[in-house]
Structure 1
Amino acid sequence: MPLRVVIAEDEAIIRMDLRETLEEEGYVVVGETGRGDTVVDLIRDTMPDLAILDIKMPGADGLEAARTINAERLCGVLMLTAFSQREVVEEARDAGALAFLVKPFQKSDLIPAIEVAMGRFRELQALTGEVDTLGEQLESRKVTDRAKGLLMDELSLSEADAFAFIQKTAMAERTRMRDVADRILDGSLRPATD
């Protein structure tokens, strides 16, 4: 699948050059704008892999847009600017830019910057997925521990017997232990008494 890109650059000639270069390299430009206050909605609508944002644009600057894009994890961000002062680069980094390119730039600079931005974005997505998975596992464990404690208190089961009941029920019903634990906690499931 070719990389899908949105361009936000207020200078029409630079926007046109970017589009041509990207298309020559096999990327697909799914949207473009010259205004910073419309780029986030454009990105939400087109769902690109990468946004190339100029820092200075009418309506809102690229830094503001980058912060929103980063907070919502919409896509990777490559910042363009005519300014290369350290504080501008740091602001772009802090706003969520994954790569930075100073205008005027060459095609030989653009493509590596895109690849760096996308590599970093994929790494962030993978890490976010791992964090989400770990969070879900931790929450499942907490719910299972609460259900186990309830069985121990109500039915005087040992910890091993309470855990075994949850585990065996999940296996027999081909469901998650978390689902069994939820049913124990809401009172709809208890072990059969002899």
Structure 2
Amino acid sequence: MIVDDESILRMDIREILQEHCYEVVAEAGNGESAVELAHRHRPDLVLMDVKMPKINGVKAGRIIHQKLGIPIVLLTAYSDGALIEEAKNSGVLGYLVKPVGESDLIPAVEIALAQGDRLHRLSCNVHRLEKQLEIRKLVERAKGILMQEHGLSEQSAYQMLRSESMNQRVSLERMAQDVIAGRLRFDRRSANP
């Protein structure tokens, strides 16, 4: 997606991208439209001017990146330190000073796409690990309850949870939740595996 308030610049950038087999799914002339179009089209990358009407490119880029995880490359005619600092803090993956030519644009696009993909994979891994940790905490709490109620060792409590989850064909997470919530009680026979 290309965002610039100057349609001629958008056209030039679109042509460069299309010559390198990139598809431009949307174009916008201001930051507000950019946010809306990013939600609608979910582009792989947004190339965005900084100085635009309504919402500037840095703010729009921050919104798009934070809410949608889409990588942003800023295009600007300005290279002052304050603007660069603001861009660094917004999570953008690239910053190009206009005029932007093919030799600058294509490497920046390729790097931003690769880094965006890497960040997405890391985010997925973090989410998966957080979920595993959450399940482990539930299982630990459930084991503690079973150990206390039935005088079991930690290993026996875990084996009880595991075999009961297999018998009922539910996840270990669900079994632990049921034990913690008091929805599941084991009789003395099942408590002594």
* Residues 1:150 and 2:145 are matched in the alignment: yes
Give the percent of matched residue pairs that are identical in Structure 1 and Structure 2: 41
Question: Partners of 2:123 and 2:45 in 1: how far apart?
Answer: 18
Cα separation, 1, equivalents of 2:127 and 2:48: 28
Structure 2 residue ranges without an equivalent (≥5): none
Picking from 149, 155, 161, the partner of 2:156 is 161
Q: Which moved more, 1:64-73 or 1:97-106?
A: 64-73
Normalised to the residue count of structure 2, the TM-score between the two structures is 0.92
Question: d(CA) in 2 for partners of 1:174 and 1:109?
Answer: 56
Equivalent in the alignment of 2:85: 90
Structure 1 residue aligned with 2:69 = 74
Alignment of 1:111-122 (within 5 A): 111-122=106-117
Q: Give distance in 2, aligned partners of 1:74 and 1:123.
A: 11
- Which consecutive aligned stretches of 4+ in structure 1 deviate over 6 angstroms post-superposition? none
Structure-1-length-normalised TM-score: 0.91
Name the counterpart of 1:24: 19
For residues 90 and 23 of structure 2, the distance between their equivalents in structure 1, rounded to whole angstroms, comes to: 25
**1:84-125 deviation per Cα after TM superposition (whole angstroms, max 9, x unaligned):** 223322221211110111100111110000011111111111
Counterpart amino acid of residue 26 in structure 1: C
Shift of 1:50: 0.4
Whole-Å Cα distance in 2 between the matches of residues 123 and 172 of structure 1? 40
Query: Which amino acid letter does the alignment assign opposite residue 81 of structure 2?
Result: R
SS in 2 for 1:37: helix
1:139 to 134, 140, 149: 134
Residue correspondences, number: 189
Unaligned 5+ runs, structure 1: 1-5
Residues 45, 72 of structure 2: 8 Å contact kept = yes
Q: Find the residue that maps to 1:28 and give its secondary structure.
A: coil
Contact 2:39/2:68 (8 A) holds in 1: no
2:34, 2:60 within 8 Å by CA — same for their partners in 1?
yes
State the match for 1:3 in structure 2.
Answer: none
Structure 1 CA distance, aligned partners of 2:69 and 2:26?
14
More displaced 10-residue stretch of structure 1: 149-158 or 23-32 = 149-158
Compute the displacement of 1:173 (Å): 4.2
Equivalent position to 2:59, from 64, 68, 84 = 64
Distance (Å, rounded) in 2 between the aligned partners of 1:47 and 1:157? 52
Write the letter of the residue equivalent to 1:136.
K
Q: Which residue among 176, 182, 185 is the counterpart of 1:190?
A: 185
| Larger displacement relative to structure 2 (48-57 or 182-191) | 182-191
Residues 1:35 and 2:49 aligned together: no
Cα deviation, residue 179, structure 1: 1.5
Contact 1:43 1:74 in 2 (8 A): no
Q: Which amino acid aligns with 1:111?
A: I
Greater share of residues in strand:
1
Instruction: Return the alpha-carbon distance in structure 1 between the equivalents of residues 168 and 45 of structure 2.
Output: 44
CA RMSD across the alignment: 1.4
